[in-house]
Structures are given as C-alpha cells and as structure tokens.
Amino acid sequence: MAVTPSRTLLGASHLVLAVIGFGAVAAYYGHARAGRMFGTPQRGLGGALTSLQEEPTKEKTSRALALVPLAKPELGEPAASVVTVRLLALAAHISRDPGDLTRAVDACRARRWPSCDRESILDMGGSR
Amino acid sequence: MTAPGSPSGRSVRKWLTHAAAVLFGMAVSAVVGHSSLAGADSAGKKFERQPLIDAAWFAYGWGSEDDAAALLRRYAARLRREPGDDPVSARYELAFAEFRLAIIEHRPRAELLELCASVPKCRPEALDELVARLAAGRKVAAPHQ
C-alpha cells in the first residue's frame, strides 16, 4: 500500500500525541519520585549532604543548614548539632567569612569538642 | 448511525486513534514511572540514614568518640528497624556499623574478633590493620575517653 502524505502526517501526529501523553504522566511521576526521595526534611538533608560530598558550594551548604532545624525533631541530638558544626565549618572553609567562622567555632565549642580554634575549623571544613 | 466510509465516520476514527496514541504514551510512562518509584523510595531511605552516618564519621574525626558512638548506635538502631528493600546489604551495613562502634568504644579484642566474623572481608589476622586504619581517621588528639 502506498504511503500518502496524509497518512505520514497522521502517523507523525500520533507520535507527537503519544509523546505528549508520555510527558504528562512522566511529569507526575517525576514529582512523585522527588517526593519519595527527598519528601521529609531528614531525607532532604541526606540528599544535600551527599551532594555536598560530590561538589561543595556555599549555596548548597546554606540550603542544607536551613534544613537542619526542620530535620531536628526526627534527627535528634547529637546528630543535629554535629551536622550543624560540619556545615558551618564547610561554609567557613568555602567563604573564609569571619562571621561564618565565628558561628562554626561557637557551634563546635557548644559540643565541647577538643579542637575548636579557627585553624581546626578550617581544616574540618576542608575535610571530606 | 454514521457509515464507516462517510466523512463523519472518518473524523470519529481519526479522533479515536489520536486518543489511543495519547493513552499509549501515558500507559508506557506509567509503567516506567511506577517501577522508578520503588527505586526512589529505597534511595529515600538511604538519604534518611545519611545524616547519621555522616555525622558519626565527622564526630569521630574531629569531635568526640562519645558523640561518634551515640550516632553509630542510632544509625545501627535505624538499620535494624528499617532495613529497606535490600536486607542483605542492610545486614552487612549493620555488621560494619556494630564493628566500628566496638572499635570506637575500645571493646576487648575477643569481642572485636567475634564481630569481625560477621563483617564481609574482615579477616581476623588483619584486625590490627583495620583498627589502625579506622584510628587514622581521627584527626584530633583527644584525651582517651
């Protein structure tokens, strides 16, 4: 049977419609997938920490720090405080900002850790 | 009733095939999406444990052994409570966590050897080497706790 231009056009429109149908449902599942992976603050924080290990940036660190208070009820102590020290030390290491450094030193001292001087904090922030 | 060959019959058939094409695309996407949701849940459970294990190693490296031990205990408890979709890997992870906890808590060698037996790739003759490797992760010279 000869393929006429109108049949080709019809086939192409079916393909486009199938792709639209696929895309609509894929968008829904994509949203649901992200919800299952990072749907709770603790899961979000875990994702942020994993991402920071791969590529640490100031923005990612700030976002992770903002998640700590939300994750704290589930995370408990000392986890929340330790993660805070880790993230503040990383922020100080990246930005070299005196304010970040002071906050990291204070958080470290609050845990009564043995080495909370500025140099140690910068070393902590630089460690993976 | 509309005759199949008539212009309106062709129009109905055209719209039906269009709807079938959309539904086909949606069905394929739903099958792929549904299987990916199960994987996402499993990944989510790992992300949920990540802050605990991350904090445990950070505390051991730079902070206090007490904090590291408390965090490892919570990590192990969570693994016991929610092993996830891969119980074999969760069991190994739990064995590692308990072994590391025993080292951090400076438990007797006999107990370490006993735990070593349940840890994959842990050979009793290499126990000292393993303990030394773990201790090398501690960056601060804290007073023995």
Testing the interface with B: which of A15, A25, A90 to mutate, by most B Cβ within 10 A?
A: A25
CB atoms inside a 10 Å sphere around CB A18: 21
User: Which carries the bigger pLDDT value, residue A42 or residue B41?
Assistant: A42
pLDDT of residue B73: 92
pLDDT of residue B11: 79
pTM over 0.80: no
Partners of B32 on chain A (C-beta within 8 Å) are 26, 29
For the purposes of burial, counting CB atoms within 10 Å of the CB of A39, is it exposed (0-12), middle (13-18) or buried (19 or more)?
middle
Is the model's pLDDT at B5 over the cut of 70?
no
Partners of B58 on chain A (C-beta within 8 Å) are 82-83, 85-86, 124
Closest CA to A124 of B96, B142, B140: B140
pLDDT of residue B145: 41
Task: Render pLDDT for B43-81 as a digit per residue (tens, 0 to 9).
Answer: 777 888 889 998 998 999 888 888 999 999 999 888 888
Task: Render pLDDT for A34-89 as a digit per residue (tens, 0 to 9).
Answer: 777 777 888 888 888 988 888 888 889 999 999 999 988 888 888 899 999 999 99
pLDDT of residue A87: 93
Partners of A39 on chain B (C-beta within 8 Å) are 44
Per-residue CA distances from A35 to A26, A32, A60, B54 (Å): 14, 5, 19, 22
* Cβ <8 Å between B54 and A49: yes
* Cβ <8 Å between B40 and A115: no
pLDDT of residue B4: 55
* Cβ <8 Å between B29 and A76: no
Global ipTM: 0.71
Give the mean pLDDT of B118-140.
Answer: 80
DSSP string, B104-127: HTT--HHHHHHHHTTSTT--GGGH
Nearest to B63 among A10, A24, A82 (CB): A82
